[in-house]
Structure 1
Amino acid sequence: MRILLTALVLLSAPVLAQPPSPPKPESVPKPTSFFRQLQETRSFNSGRPVGATVTPDEQTLFFLRNSATSNALSLHAFDVATGQSRELLTPESLLQGAEETLTPEEKARRERMRMNSRGFSNYTLSDDGKKLLMGLSGKLFVVERASGKVTELKTGPGVIDPRLSSDGTQVAYVREHDVYRLDLATNTERRVTKGGTAEKTHGLAEFIAQEEMYRFSGYWWSPDAKALAYTESDTSGVEKLSIADTGNPAQGAQQLSYPRAGKANARVRLGVIPVTGGKTTWVNWDAEKYPYLATVRWPAKGPLTLLVQNRHQTEEVLLAVDVKTGRTTPLLVEKDDAWLELDQTFPHWLEDGSGFLWGTERNGAPELELRDATGKLVRSLVPPDAGFGGLVGYVEKEETVYFVGGTNSAERYVWRARKGDKPTRVTTGGPALESARLSPRGGLLVVTSEGPKSMRSTVVLKADGTRVGELPSIAKEPPFQPRLEVRQVGKERFPTSLVRPRDAKPGVKLPVIVEIYAGPGTAMVRQSMASHLTAQWMADQGFLVVRLDGRGASPTADAKLRKPKYDFPKVLMDEQVAALRALAAEVPELDLNRVGITGGSHGGYMSALAVLTRPDVFKAAVAVSAVTDWRDYDTHLTERFLGLPDEHPDAYAQSSLLTHVKAGQPMGKLLVIHGTADDNVFFFHALKLSDALFRAGQSHEFLPLSGMTHMVYSDPQVTERLWEHTMRYFKQHL
């Protein structure tokens, strides 16, 4: 991440209709160490195990863990037989005291992945379980498990996305815009692809794939380790936008290929090349009709498979590839009147290549299907009414699927379904949010869980639910427990959460702060202690802090509620207002005459929209990293919701904040906060909004964060000052 620790500058718009009185000294929160603790402990998650991987023999489980106040991850091993853990490898031992460094390309990739950890941010276990591949500070290391021998690989500089071949004899990676491979026996590298440039990269996922499709790789090993499939991403026709570090004017501007809505995307094609280099066989599909290469799979048995989408994201085709000729054969076609959701888990090919698992919403809600090798439906494994949330694993010999989900959007559990029977829970207790990984043989489950009164913990279970042990945590615990209440309100059963001050008195009305994101189909209300720590700090300043989900947050909701098209901002805002009023009907302490709202990214957009279009409800907003005009945001996400600008200009006009900025029109108080180095929602979004408000004579405040990216809460000091300023603003205006 490109973080510059420079001073924050607070700018107020010169035109103020009625300048607000300065807050009384006692109304401003005193400086607190809570946010410094929050950042130094990565929200009290440092020291908790992550990235668990089970060996093929199910005897050992590897995981990453850092110290309680560090973000540098080291490698640990859990012995299944004894339940004991030990540290295997640390970043310090490999770097021998040298400082860890990251290339600009790797920093950008981590920004897309929302990753702020250091050290061993990831690792790979070979298919036979004998080797570990570790990446650190642009260098690669291979660990032989039997002997413990560590070998530094002789790669050139700037290695990105390293991965072992299936037979564990080679490593592939990207550097200098091309795909390389290194032979482990001789520790020598060879350039596989040639001709890659900054504007025509080989083996790297383009911006849209990383940011919106969650496809972070651009190359794939063949199962026999003799070939590689790779993308060529040509951004020469993509509009170039500049990011300048205004606090460092001598540094110059950075040029980025950024496809704004309605404009040109990167042109992406897929090729297959021998690992020894040579001629590329290009894969053929109708790229004019289906320009988005969404997903690529090359299973151990089964064809090289790719999923391609049309520009409107209303139709996609799953294709099997003949790698000798590049010809493709359709396996299935999916269509949706609104848009198709992507899940990089699918297709999940069976070990024998006889078929694959497929996720679909064809029947109104998420569903898991089993299909044969030709794409023909065999049967439904998880029905649409089960609340399927994600695949954990499939045990073929038992015809048993494990998945996470449930019909309550505020909770998530691990479920098991045998041979198409009704799903049953693997775990007990709750409320909780669970995620899981299944071992390759299906004998072990690694379940991570958190709840309203507990932080994240990870246990190892046998597939039948019998407990094996727990991965040890050395994390610091938060200094308080949120006073969290989760309920469904109104006849619509809106999911809501409420955090009260710890010294709140029954019956005493308090001002309200709504925390919002409200992307279509996104749930904010969660039975989670970790996600409400900041809310409790805010509440203790004398507020009731609430989160409100629309009906579309439920995985089993009607498709039109889950996928509001074209007028989605109004639909989502109306749902927020209805949920707020329904909650107030049950909680009389909510003072609906004093309601503020805040959020980041899409939540920042909704916060600004709230005070512009519903000042009767929302009196003040703090909008962080907000989109101002959707014509200035990226193609894949924007066009999914609004269509193409030329085809639906009214949808873009009504969704733009600028449309709702009018002279003399009532609006709530607004504080705009934005990082100057944001390469996702560019800083000019905030400038456009502030300029429009200024010209309309509308009072507002503007806080630019010098050198900060879209991840504005990544620096402890900045985070502390941001929240202090946010609460000062709400105390002043509510």
Structure 2
Amino acid sequence: MKLRHFIAIIGFTITTLVFSQQKQITLQDIWTGEFRTEGMQALHSMANGNQYSVLNFNRQDRTSTIDIYDYKTLEKVKTLISSADIAEIQGFFDYSFNENETKIILTTKSRPVFRRSTLGEYYIYDIASKKVVKVSDDLVQEPTLSPDGTKVAYGFENNLYVKDLKSGKVSQITTDGEKNKIINGITDWVYEEEFSFVRAFDWNADSNQIAFIRFDETNVPEFSMDVYGSDLYQTQHVFKYPKAGEENSKVSLHLYNLNSKKVEELKVDKTYQDFYIPRLEWTNEANVLSVQFMNRHQNELDLWMIDTKTMTSQKVLGEKDKAYIDVTFNLTFLEDNSFIWTSELDGFNHIYHYAKNGKLINQVTKGNWEVTNYYGFNEKANTIYFQSTENGSINRDVYSIKLNGKSKKRLTQKDGTNSAAFSADFTYFINTFSSATTPYEYTLVDAKKGEIVKNIKDNKRLVEQLKGYVLSKKEFSTISINGNNLNMWTIKPANFDANKTYPLFMYQYSGPGSQQVANRWNGANDYWYQMLAQQGYIVVCIDGRGTGFKGADFKKVTQNELGKYEVEDQIEAAKQLGKLDYIDAERIGIWGWSYGGFMSSNALFKGNDVFKMAIAVAPVTSWRFYDTIYTERYMTTPQENPTGYDENSPINHVDKLKGDFLLIHGSGDDNVHVQNTMRMVEALIQADKQFEWMIYPDKNHGIYGGNTRLHLYKKMTNFIHETLGDKIEANRE
């Protein structure tokens, strides 16, 4: 007995000595970039298949360069462009080539509009002549070179324009564009946010036709946000935002012919009511345009081919789902105009090959796993390249497979998250790998053999740096909850002692199809969790029902009931974990951001006998306040499903609050409006519930800028200590 006690003292002494030699992570470390990883910026595979370009920035002389590297040797071949050699510009921070790589669009200035959209200053660089042409003296949107490189199309003040690069002549395609009424060729707010694209126009292969979507948002209700700024009077930002059940933009499809200079509407041979056009893309045939039409419930998706020469249309594919259909960018046309399509038809997301007329040729991939990225098709080798979860839902690997579904091969070897950037001819790919224990590594891989040709870049410097800090292993496991094995990770204090008890702090996002439990390298929050662990907390994350990459049934079980099953899983998980000897069941907290904030609020209210505290950042507090496309995809409309909206929205359960609650929002959030928090605050007040809250003036959904993130995380950390950490100091003793 005495001997065991003596050994324990020695062990404690050694452990204490080791920890004293290592640094504790601080919030300043996290939010001043102390743990920044090295990467490869704006990688582009050149059409010759042997080279790739990268954007480099010299911080000393502040010049931008596009440098060309050889895939095989990884040696720099040449500098294609240097801002130092272009008198008209001081520098650039992004670039894109036209199809034949004779010209490059350089981005020199940029100002965000919403999440994906920007207004910018752009120049066209001619590689042969080394001359530059400014696209416009105005800040414009989405400049796109024609395939032959002779013209550039762009959006400005809700209209479309085309500039002839040889003559300099600008032609205005549309004239009816007007703020908060008509938008031509650029998506409205809700399309941009939920269908994840901004450029709603496309050049055909012959560079003589432009197809575009027109948005008539005249009848869409307006939302306004005060912008406080620094002037004596605030201003107001007013924009069209369709909340669930309200009117959407009326969309129509149009064609501009550069030869006739005429715009005409394109129609398909079916009348749609209250519909979306989530994708348009020209096929390899210059007169054949592909367009996807979707009903408002988003459970029916039709693929149409429109012949702009004969003005005829053909529906080649139609899908229906009992819940909803995810729209992707994976549609790929082969040389014979057959096409690749991805779908959850068999219950998991897989690759399908269809003939030009829409007849199914074959299902290329099969199995109880998900295709998570489609990289492309090598015509010469008759091979498809893709990323999947076949090696476990928390991992990602790169695979190749023949078009007929045979000869599947795993091309990456390390377990973790692998993603590929292929050379244009699919001879090589640059693999980006990371795991929970390995920061990003970039390697050149032979796409046929799956063998590493060369190491390009790693983050060994960061690995060495982190050895100086107290860190814990992120432990992956599963937990059986409500009949499902849910993925989970756990971070314990480095000096964890199973004979002690620790407060439990849970993180989740939980939105449909999302994933937080993944075998990948740290984000900023992971360092925060490490910091909390070293301060005496056990931190856990669980992906409950409704999250992604475990099949359609698992993901879509929450249909019409957002916030029911996901909340039940988090509450039950907290109960189970609270039974562990080393967890203090009286000190369990939960937090989340956006959908995660919606969840943490619900968990605290509905699980008031389980959770002691919750933090909700930028939460949806009622699905009635959120946009049409996202909300109705999972809930239909509030007119059709009022109980689904109201019974699972935290704003209607404030009377159940018993624990400590911190509510945080940015007043300039154009996505999840601060209205959500204001209405929640009023409901809490009327229910006579005490709580804490914080508003960040003029900050959007990301709540960042200047000292903002550091302040936010100090606020949350202090709240955690005040509500969960009352016994931590005693526990350390």
Question: Which range, TM-score by smaller chain?
Answer: 0.7 to 0.9
Are 1:393 and 2:376 counterparts? yes
Q: Tell me which residue corresponds to 1:257.
A: 240
**Structure 2 match to 1:238:** 220
Q: Which residue of 2 aligns with 1:176?
A: 157
Q: Which residue of 2 aligns with 1:217?
A: 199
Aligned to 2:393: 409
Pairing 1:372–2:355 present:
yes
Match of 2:712 in 1: 722
Q: 1:393 to 1:591 in 2, by over 3 A?
A: farther
Q: 1:428 to 1:709 in 2, by over 3 A?
A: same
Q: Distance in 2 between matches of 1:130 and 1:328?
A: 34
- Pairing partner for 1:682 from 670, 673, 679: 673
Corresponding residue to 1:648 among 641, 653, 670: 641
**Contact 1:48/1:65 (<8 A) preserved:** no
Change (3 A) 1:133 1:36: farther
Secondary structure of residue in 1 paired with 2:564: helix
- How far is the alpha carbon of 1:595 from its aligned partner? 1.1
Aligned with residue 515 of structure 1, among 507, 512, 521: 507
Q: Tell me the secondary structure at the aligned position of residue 375 of structure 1.
A: coil
Alignment partner of 2:487: what SS? strand
- Secondary structure at the counterpart of residue 262 of structure 2: coil
Taking structure 1 as reference, are residues 261 and 185 closer, same or farther at Cα in structure 2, changes over 3 Å only? same
Question: Match of 2:564?
Answer: 570
Distance change in 2, residues 1:166/1:576 (3 Å)? same
Give the superposition deviation at 1:472.
4.3
* 1:268 lines up with 2:251 in the alignment: yes
Q: Which amino acid aligns with 2:107?
A: G
Q: Secondary structure at the match of 1:574?
A: helix
Structure-1 separation of matches of 2:65 and 2:380: 36
- How far did 1:89 drift? 5.0
**C-alpha RMSD of the superposition:** 2.8
Following TM superposition, by how much is the alpha carbon of 1:152 offset from its aligned partner in structure 2, in angstroms?
Answer: 3.3
Q: Does 1:229 align with 2:220?
A: no
Distance 1:54 1:631 in 2: 45
- Where does residue 599 of structure 2 map in the other structure? 606
Could you tell me the TM-score, scaled by structure 1's length? 0.86
* Offset of residue 174 of structure 1: 1.0
Q: Does 1:64 align with 2:32?
A: no
Aligned pair partner of 1:692 in 683, 701, 704: 683
Q: Determine helix, strand or coil for the equivalent of 2:210.
A: strand
Is the 1:74–1:91 Cα contact (8 Å) retained in structure 2?
A: yes
Q: RCO (CA 8 Å, sep 6+): is it higher in 1 or 2?
A: 1
Aligned to 2:412: 427
**1:40 Cα deviation after fit:** 4.7
The alpha-carbon deviation at position 190 of structure 1 amounts to: 2.5
For residues 327 and 162 of structure 1, the distance between their equivalents in structure 2, rounded to whole angstroms, comes to 29
Instruction: Determine the C-alpha separation between the residues in 2 that align with 1:569 and 1:64.
Output: 43
Distance 1:216 1:694 in 2: 40
Name the amino acid aligned to 1:450: S
Give 3-state SS (helix, strand or coil) of 2:245's partner: coil
Which residue pairs with 2:104 in the alignment?
A: 132
- Conserved? CA contact 2:439–2:458, under 8 Å: no
Structure having the higher Rg: 2
Please report how far the alpha carbon of residue 709 of structure 1 lies from its aligned counterpart in structure 2 after TM superposition.
0.4
SS at match of 1:351: coil
Distance 1:602 1:374 in 2: 40
Q: CA deviation at 1:720?
A: 1.1
Q: Provide Cα deviations, 1:202-236, integer angstroms capped at 9, x if missing partner.
A: 11011121101112211100110001011111111
Q: Answer whether contact 1:449 1:458 (CA < 8 A) is retained.
A: yes
- Give the residue type in structure 1 aligned to 2:196: Y
Partner Cα separation in structure 2 for residue 655 and residue 71 of structure 1 = 52
Cα distance in 1, alignment partners of residues 616 and 84 from structure 2: 40
Change (3 A) 1:612 1:183: same
- Name the aligned partner's letter for residue 262 of structure 2: K
Identical counterparts, % of pairs? 24
Superposed CA deviations along residues 238-275 of structure 1, whole A, max 9, x for unmatched, are 10111102465613211110000000111111101123
Verify the 8 A CA contact 2:323 2:556 in the aligned structure 1.
no
Tell whether 2:324 aligns with 1:339: yes
Instruction: Quote how far apart the aligned CAs of 1:518 are.
Output: 0.2
SS in 2 for 1:702: strand
**Among 478, 481, 484, the residue aligned to 2:474:** 484
Name the residue aligned to 1:547: 541
Q: Deviations over 1:165-184 (max 9, x none)?
A: 11222221111322122222
Q: CA deviation at 1:429?
A: 1.6
Q: Does 1:661 align with 2:633?
A: no
Q: How does 1:457-496 map to 2 (within 5 A)?
A: 457-464=441-448, 465-472=450-457, 477=462, 479=466, 480=469, 483-490=473-480, 492-496=484-488
Unpaired segments ≥5 residues, structure 2:
1-22, 110-119, 725-733
Shift, 1:335, TM fit: 0.6
Match of 2:294 among 309, 312, 328: 309
Deviations 1:271-291 (A, max 9, x none): 011235732221214564361
Q: Counterpart of 1:444?
A: 428
Instruction: Give the match's secondary structure for 2:42.
Output: strand
Distance in 2 (CA, whole Å) between partners of 1:486 and 1:72 is 44
> Match of 1:242, as an amino acid?
S
Structure 2 CA distance for aligned equivalents of residues 126 and 482 of structure 1: 47
CA contact (8 A) 2:89 2:108 kept: no
CA distance in 1, matches of 2:591, 2:312: 51
Q: CA deviation at 1:36?
A: 4.7
Q: How many equivalent residue pairs? A: 675
Contact kept? 1:49, 1:473, Cα under 8 Å: no
Change in CA separation of 1:163 and 1:32 when aligned onto 2, cut-off 3 Å: farther
Aligned partner of residue 601 in structure 2, secondary structure: helix
**1:158 to partner: Cα distance:** 1.4
- Distance change in 2, residues 1:694/1:391 (3 Å): same
Instruction: Spell out, residue by residue over 1:638-681, the C-alpha distance to the aligned partner (whole angstroms, 9 max, x if none).
Output: 1111111111111111122221122xx44321100000100001
Structure 1 residue matching 2:362: 3-state secondary structure: strand
Matched with 1:624 is 617
Describe the superposition over 1:603-629 as per-residue Cα deviations: whole angstroms up to 9, x where unpaired. Answer: 111111111111122211110000111
Q: Which residue identity does 1:696 align to in structure 2? A: A
1:295 aligns with one of 275, 279, 285: 279
Shift of 1:424: 2.6
Shift of 1:351: 2.9
Does structure 1 residue 497 correspond to structure 2 residue 489? yes
- Could you tell me which residue of structure 2 aligns to residue 322 of structure 1? 307
State how 1:144-159 maps to structure 2 within 5 Å. Answer: 144-145=126-127, 149-159=130-140
The question of 1:167 aligning with 2:148 is answered: yes
Change (3 A) 1:317 1:517: same
The answer to whether the Cα contact below 8 Å between 1:320 and 1:329 also exists between their aligned partners in 2 is yes
Q: Equivalent residue for 1:205?
A: 187
Q: Could you tell me how far apart the structure 1 residues matched to 2:592 and 2:373 are?
A: 26
Aligned-partner Cα distance in 2 for 1:657–1:70: 53
Confirm or deny: 8 A CA contact 2:440 2:458 kept in the other structure.
no
Q: Which one-letter code corresponds to 2:593 in the other structure?
A: G
Q: Give the Å deviation of 1:341.
A: 1.1
TM-score (norm 2): 0.86
Query: In the alignment, residue 728 of structure 1 is paired with which amino acid?
Result: N
2: CA distance, partners of 1:153 / 1:396? 37
Look up the equivalent residue of 2:409 and give its one-letter code: T
Q: CA offsets, 1:83-124, max 9 Å, x none?
A: 1247655678768786x9xxxxxxxxxxxxxxxxxx52x422
Question: Residues 561, 220 of structure 1: CA spacing in aligned structure 2 closer, same or farther, 3 A cutoff?
Answer: closer
Unaligned ranges ≥5, structure 1: 1-30, 101-118
Residue 39 (structure 2) pairs with residue 44 (structure 1): no
Structure 1 residues 202, 629: CA separation in 2 closer, same or farther (over 3 Å shift)? Answer: same
Q: Which moved more, 1:567-576 or 1:478-487?
A: 478-487
What's the secondary structure of 2:43's corresponding residue? strand
AA in 2 matched with 1:207: W
What's the counterpart of residue 20 of structure 1?
Answer: none
Matched, 1:363 2:346: yes
